């Protein structure tokens, strides 16, 4: 018997009350989108589940794509049979006989279709006895079987599965609006973007670039990081902001230990304008409490003063090790650790203020509020469209 379906379980979105349909429709669209170059397959919905009909396609690459789609809690290869005891028996027998290294098994029936005449528990016995009677070298082990044969009896058919693969979890991208990710070339911000996407949020990127102090390579790194993140969603626009003049002006008029604070405030002001232009309702950063001078409580209090847009900080309470683990898992790590010049480190003093006061900074900005420079930077931004890729692994082979 050949597997003919992939069964998709979507866990959390099943709990969304009235919005449930919107979430499920988006998940179905996202799956269809990611599988668009497999023209033979179909993505179908039934009560509480989704299925990919394989129509003879090799399931391995399809399963691999689906593992990166947010909103899927788990996946299994499945056989579809009619709701007929005899056919179900024969299918389970074929699965058992074809499974390798199996000495013990267990049958777990779930009867979602109450019109099917045999209740779950009784059906477990029917199938278990049938399998024992028709084979000679297997034993039943309900606690620790080598093979668990799961039988889901549904309205339209019965689906039989064995192994379950963990899905990406989270919510379907596109159900949570859009955020503007402040993307540097570091390790943290791409991970923050990935975690925002995991909660169903689409990304648009903003990057502050200071040529000639930061090179084309630094910009390319940001584009490559963006490309790596498209695997979890669709194409992404990157706004490259020319930041040199602003940094020079800040350095000229602001006392040394406050330049970092003011520069961050300016970044947020520019980001807010871009958000407004693009109808984006929040920003996201890779900030992490206590990691560097700009990420103390006092710094955040003073930097955050310039905007009342929500700022998502998915990494705020994580340890660096946890962040690096995710960066490795999503393949952004090797791009992030390429050497590059950071616009911040070049202009930033050796010991920036870790507790800048709002009143003090407001006072400094009173006569130099940088508005003209800010508007010019926004006007001269370059918007680069990064189209999506199907597999991070493929792309990494090309990039590294
Ligand atoms: P990362 O690893 O993301 O660079 P970091 O720990 O180095 O983070 P900072 O350099 O203090 O921390 O930056 C904090 C956050 O500010 C970054 O996570 C990012 O969201 C944003 N940021 C910093 N520099 C830039 C930049 N040049 N362009 C866009 N966003 C930036
Ligand atoms: Mg950085």
Q: pLDDT tens across 52-95, in order?
A: 999 999 999 999 999 999 999 999 999 999 999 999 999 999 99
Site to probe by mutation for ligand 1, drawn from 286, 289, 347 as the one with most ligand atoms within 8 Å of Cβ, is: 286
The arrangement of strands across the sheet holding 311-312 comes to 311-312, 282-284, 178-182, 202-209, 236-242, 382-386
Q: Which ligand is nearest to the CA of 243?
A: 1
> Of residues 134 and 347, which shows the higher confidence score?
134
pLDDT digits (tens, 9 = 90+) for 164-191: 999 999 999 999 999 999 999 999 999 9
Contact 74, 139 (CB under 8 A): no
* Atom 6 of ligand 1, residue of closest alpha carbon: 188
Contact 8, 31 (CB under 8 A): yes
CA distance 83 to 148: 20
Q: Following DSSP, what letter does each residue of 148-189 receive, concatenated?
A: EEEEEE-SS-EEEE---EE---SB-TTSS-EEEEE--SSSHH
SS3 40: coil
Instruction: Kindly state the average pLDDT of the residues 214-234.
Output: 94
**pLDDT at res. 173:** 96
> Of residues 224 and 291, which shows the higher confidence score?
224
The verdict on the CB of residue 189 being under 6 Å from ligand 1 is yes
pLDDT digits (tens, 9 = 90+) for 259-292: 999 999 999 999 999 999 999 999 999 999 876 7
* Atom 2 of ligand 1, residue of closest alpha carbon: 186
CA distance 287 to 275: 19
Q: How many residues does the chain have?
A: 400
Instruction: Kindly state the average pLDDT of the residues 225-235.
Output: 95
pLDDT digits (tens, 9 = 90+) for 325-381: 999 999 999 999 998 767 666 667 777 888 899 999 999 999 888 999 999 999 999
**pLDDT at res. 375:** 97
Residue 398 has pLDDT above 70, yes or no: no
The verdict on the CB of residue 187 being under 6 Å from ligand 1 is yes
Instruction: Kindly state the average pLDDT of the residues 195-206.
Output: 97
* Atom 20 of ligand 1, residue of closest alpha carbon: 285
**pLDDT at res. 91:** 95
Instruction: List, as ranges, residues with CB under 5 A of the ion ligand 2.
Output: 184, 186
Ligand 1 centroid distance, CA of 342 (Å): 9
**pLDDT at res. 394:** 60
Q: Following DSSP, what letter does each residue of 342-392 receive, concatenated?
A: -HHHHH--SS--SS--HHHHHHHHSS---HHHHHHHHHT-EEEEE---S-H
């Amino acid at each position: 018997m050949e597997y003919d379906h992939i069964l998709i379980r979507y866990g959390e979105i099943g709990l969304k009350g009235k919005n449930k349909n919107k979430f499920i429709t988006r998940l179905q669209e996202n799956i269809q989108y990611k599988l668009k170059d497999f023209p033979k397959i179909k993505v179908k919905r039934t009560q509480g589940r989704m299925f990919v009909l394989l129509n003879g396609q090799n399931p391995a690459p399809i399963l691999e794509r689906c593992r990166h789609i947010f909103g899927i809690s788990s996946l299994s290869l499945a056989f579809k049979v009619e709701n007929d005891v005899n056919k179900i028996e024969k299918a389970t027998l074929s699965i058992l006989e074809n499974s390798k290294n199996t000495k013990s098994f267990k049958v777990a029936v779930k009867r979602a279709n109450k019109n099917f005449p045999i209740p779950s528990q009784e059906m477990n016995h029917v199938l278990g006895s049938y399998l024992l009677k028709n084979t000679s070298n297997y034993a039943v082990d309900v606690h620790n079987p080598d093979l668990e044969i799961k039988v889901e009896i549904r309205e339209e058919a019965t689906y039989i599965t064995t192994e379950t693969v963990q899905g990406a979890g989270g919510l379907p991208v596109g159900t949570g609006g859009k955020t503007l990710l402040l993307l540097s070339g570091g390790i943290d911000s791409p991970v923050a973007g990935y975690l925002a996407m995991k909660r169903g949020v689409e990304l648009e990127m903003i990057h502050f670039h200071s040529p000639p102090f930061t090179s084309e390579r630094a910009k390319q790194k940001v584009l490559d990081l963006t490309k790596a993140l498209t695997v979890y969603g669709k194409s992404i626009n990157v706004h490259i902001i020319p930041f040199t003049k602003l940094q020079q002006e800040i350095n000229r008029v602001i006392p040394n230990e406050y330049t970092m604070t003011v520069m961050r405030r300016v970044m947020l002001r520019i980001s807010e304008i871009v958000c407004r232009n693009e109808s984006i309702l929040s920003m996201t950063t890779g900030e992490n409490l206590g990691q560097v001078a700009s990420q103390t409580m006092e710094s955040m209090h003073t930097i955050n003063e310039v905007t009342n847009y929500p700022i998502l900080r998915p990494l705020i309470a994580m340890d660096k090790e946890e962040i690096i683990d995710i960066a490795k898992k999503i393949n952004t790590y090797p791009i992030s650790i390429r050497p590059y010049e950071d616009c911040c480190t070049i202009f930033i003093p050796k010991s920036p203020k870790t507790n800048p006061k709002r009143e003090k900074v407001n006072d400094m900005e009173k006569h130099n509020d940088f508005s003209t420079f800010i508007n010019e930077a926004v006007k001269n931004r370059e918007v680069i469209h990064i189209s999506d890729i199907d597999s991070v692994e493929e792309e990494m082979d090309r990039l590294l």
